[in-house]
Chain A
Amino acid sequence: MSYSYLAPASEDELCEALRTARQPMAVIGGGTMVIPRITFGQETPATVLDLSKVHLDGVGQADGITTVGAMTPYRSLHQFDGDPTIARLLHKVALVVTGGPQIRNRGTVGGSASFANPGSDIPGALAALGARFELRSPSGSRTLPFTEFFVGPFTTGLEADEVLVSISFASPLAACGYYKFKLSQSSWPIVTAASILQTDDRLRVALGGLAGRPVVLQLDRPDRVDDAAWRQHVSTVLREPLAAAGGPWSDELAEGSYRERIAPVVIARSVADCLADSAGRQGGNRA
């Protein structure tokens, strides 16, 4: 196994590296996925491109738009506790990323998005936020909506000589909720649901793990999440976007049929968290 290792230290150097890199190229954000894959021979890159020196981390906000650098580690998102707008959903998601301090310190939002594992937290959360993805290649920059970035399982809209540099989304929002179901603590997420209560009082819910790419739906706001009619509404609404995303996803941990069966439950629990968030914040406003 031999490969060239490139560690550009600026965006200019990054462009140069992308231009000269021999393909296939493996891009390392935190390296939590790619390095084990190289170690076990599942990837045999000609070039390893390490983004750690390009300064792509950090969260900023301007004109109602939040921008998250691709190299922002989960740990950085923990600090947004209580922030009413910036990255509130990502904060909730990051809090429940497990795998120990190494993963939370090393694992990055952009790396997880680029790896596009259906059984992971980040793709669904970014889909819920309606995120846009800024990509860099030797020929310049372009931006993709999440629908064109998340193409399928472990597949993104990134070209071979292109990397993700940042993710941006409109700052939310009335309230948000997150729930993920895992078989056990050590399992990948099986189904995740990120919910956002919109200003029109409807809910935008994005599901991860259910299909090969995130599934997004619009739902009526329920009075109670265990209301049978609302549950029926969820199942009905889910059908079309799930089919459009290629149907349920299966892997070593769970069959698609199981994911499909529990998806309405996971949605309901996420929405319950969202409604509690909403109620809490209204309470906070009154106080």
Chain B
Amino acid sequence: MTISTTAPITPGGIGKPVAKRDGTALVQGRVRYVDDYNPAALLHASVVRSSIAHGRILSIDTSAAEVAPGVISVVTGAEAAERTEPIPYFIDPSSRGGRRVDVRCLEPDLVTYVGQPVAAVVARTRSQARSAARLVTVEYDQLPHVLHARDSVQSNAPRVYPDWPDNVIFSKVYGTGDPDARLADADVTVTGEFQVARSNTAPIEPRGYLANWDSIEEHLTLQGSLQNPHQLRWMLAQTLGLDETRISVQTSKIGGSFGLKMQGLPEETLVCLLSMLLEAPVKWIEDRPETFMSGAREQHHRITLGAKRDGTVVALKNEILADAGSLTAQAGWAMCNMSATTFPSGYRVQDCQIDLRLVATNKPPLSAARGFGKDSAHFVMERAMDLLARELEMDPGELRRRNFVGPEEFPYRTSTGLNIDSGDYDGLLTKAQDLIGYAGWRTRQAALRHGTGTDTLSRIGIGIAFEVTPESSDSPGSFVSGYDTTTVRMSSGGRVTVLTGVTSPGGGNDTGIAQIVSSELGVPLEWIDVVQGDTDRCPNGFGNFSGRSMVVGGGSAALAARDVQATLRTVGARLLDESVEACEVIDGAVRVIADQSRQVDIPTVATAVVQRAFAEADGVEPRLESTRAFKPGNIDHTPDEHGRIQPYPTYSSCAHIAVVDVDDETGKVDVIDYVIAHDCGTMINPALVEGQARGAVVMGLGAALTEQLAFDAEGRLITDRFKTYLLLRASEVPTLKMAHQVTPSPFTMHGNKGAGEAGLGGAQAAIANAVEDALSDLRVRVDRLPLTPPRVLDLIERGRAQ
């Protein structure tokens, strides 16, 4: 395995734990989020939402709202439908053999969930808009609703979309081999049913958009808290019937996103429409209860593993029933596809069959969420591996080691078609076990169980989980693109501006990209500014998703930086009266390699390129700027003989070990020790990698322990604030210990792999496995998340009653 970079080691360059460039400004409150922009004559929008889960709109009475204080306009779905087209899907289910419906910015006819936008009110203040929105009354012809996937698949279930023959949005079978035959031959089989609850990404900053239609220039500018400005510009061109060149999209500073702010959501088009209708700037900022409508995940799995007596897994079958809620033009519905494809994870099982059904229910849609379905696959796969370990009376770590794809087997094609680039899974597990003191915890657990010693803990449980996370996807025929584009531009004074198509939702990839440019161009980090998220300034790109930003934003920045560096080196060598080969560009200067005392600083060289284009720079294209795209290797869209494509170039991996203490009397689970061993190939910035991994683990711990969206029988969300939707607080998360392993990807510019999603699924699995381990004497099965105290106490009491 080789790394293709030859970049020298520089102080702020690749591999250094440089602090986030905007970190100080963020903590001092010196950044602007979308809600901080208040242009003159700004108007504020509030969205009127369906109060029922299913029905036809008969009439809308806006008269009271129209005369309410400050109100400028009230727009209904019928009016919006005259001025806008349906929202194009980020990934169209019909292009994957599934079903679609038209999704509009305001629904004119059929509402399918409580909270669906049906009208909008614009007023002089946000408070006035909100008050007036409550005065809009909608008359419905109510239809029977269905809230759960298990009910939605019944033949007599209400149809969420009445003209469909059933509620299935999408179904597909994945895998190769003959798992039925292997299961028939297996020494042991285990079957488990697992439920993943609906949760939410809960970013600190909700969504928000500020649209400004310039009626003289006939130009629309949309600022917002969003991840994908270029795709959104294209989308708005479709929905609003404008040429793309008449639209500018700018990303404000983003206070967290986690997939939620990928485009395709109704309010994006809506706010632009309102601004165009009123010829005034219009802002809409999402309320927290609105943020909580977006589902991050909700699935049921029925999985069977077959194995030999020695622990070798020989077959996997899994039936996934995924609950989409209502359809969305955002990418959220497609997450289940990656749940299926992620099986059987990093285990050497070539006989697999995964049956996926995605069904509609009368709940709000899913929105893309960190993990993108891969997290649920890891929860289920790792639970199943633990069931097997228990059945075989084998240590769960040992069972996993016997089935890991070995380091010498990469690239490894999985049964579902993924081509895993590189890894050392055994090494990861060893690092995790060493760091947490696995044997020591097992000894302490045994002493507690046998009543020896004086442990103050109640029930110790130890859970292992492994995950391999496909990253940086490219989905054919969509704007899920596996490449990106960057411009590196040097001023005549030597300052560098990097304009890139990727965006940063708060994770800090702008810092990482600057480090790459620093190394590749040979200038100090401080000389470099990074511009992201502006369709007017940045080259065409695809923003942020799928752990892609450092792989393709970084890769394209490196290519562009090398071009500029070549020009500097050529002209610098002439200024030094040396051959190009005799010189290098490093640390802000062109130097003679053999005589470090002879150098010319880069501002001088840059000025020479610009001002002496017909002298020292004669014969050189006098351009201190380059725009390059980077396509990683290992993406293949040509279906193989099994119809499989390979959409993911890189595969990060990690091993988790959680230690929990379960309170016997209340069912409360305390996480008392936690380790993650993490491998994302070359780390451009270890501090950023660690920040992302810790964040993903904590999000996974929340999904495992406390976070769930709940609805009443009428489909109304009842967990719509942080006192009912419970996030973990810092005081209940132990210090997360972290170890790194580096197996570079041979398919990316610097050997790096996508980072930021890995951690979420493993954390869920590690906690579930640890809790079941803590209760092992009761022989109960942890089959659902989150493991709230009532649920765990149920398990304990059920076990005792057996």
Contacts and interface: CB of A to CB of B under 8 A. Distances in A.
Centre residue among A190, A253, A255 by max chain B CB count within 10 A:
A253
A150 interface: no
B97 interface: no
Contact of B666 (A2, A187, A262): A262
B764 to A, nearest CB: 16
Contacts of A210: none
Interface string A24-59: 000000000000000011000000000000000000
A196 interface: no
Contacts of A188: 723
Contacts of A41: 130-131, 134
Nearest to B731: A185
Contacts of B790: 254-255, 258
A184 B729 contact: yes
Given A184-B732, A265-B666, A252 B727 contact: no
Contacts of A261: 793, 797
A252 B719 contact: yes
A22 B719 CA distance: 33
B127 interface: yes
Contacts of B15: none
A265 B790 CA distance: 14
A181 interface: yes
A184 B666 contact: no
Nearest to A261: B793
Interface of A: 1-2, 40-41, 181, 183-188, 190, 252-255, 258, 261-262, 265
A265 B705 CA distance: 21
A254 B789 CA distance: 9
Contacts of A190: 789
18 contacts: A1-B130, A2-B69, A41-B130, A41-B131, A181-B668, A183-B788, A184-B726, A184-B728, A184-B729, A186-B722, A186-B723, A186-B727, A187-B706, A190-B789, A258-B790, A261-B797, A262-B793, A265-B666
By DSSP majority rule, is chain A's interface helix, strand, loop, or mixed?
loop
A184 B706 contact: yes
A255 B793 CA distance: 13
Contacts of A255: 790
Given A252-B710, A252-B724, A253-B724, A183 B130 contact: no
B391 interface: no
B192 interface: no
B61 interface: no
B447 interface: no
10 cross-chain pairs, A with B, having the tightest CB-CB distances, nearest first: A185-B729, A258-B790, A265-B665, A1-B131, A252-B724, A184-B706, A252-B718, A186-B726, A184-B726, A262-B666
Interface string B777-799: 00000000000111001000100
Contacts of A186: 706, 722-723, 726-729
B289 interface: yes
Contacts of A181: 666, 668, 789
Contact of A183 (B131, B665, B722, B726): B726
A40 B130 CA distance: 9
Given A186-B726, A252-B718, A258 B289 contact: no
Interface string B684-726: 0000000000000000000001100010000000110011101
A57 B515 CA distance: 56
A57 B620 CA distance: 79
A247 B728 CA distance: 30
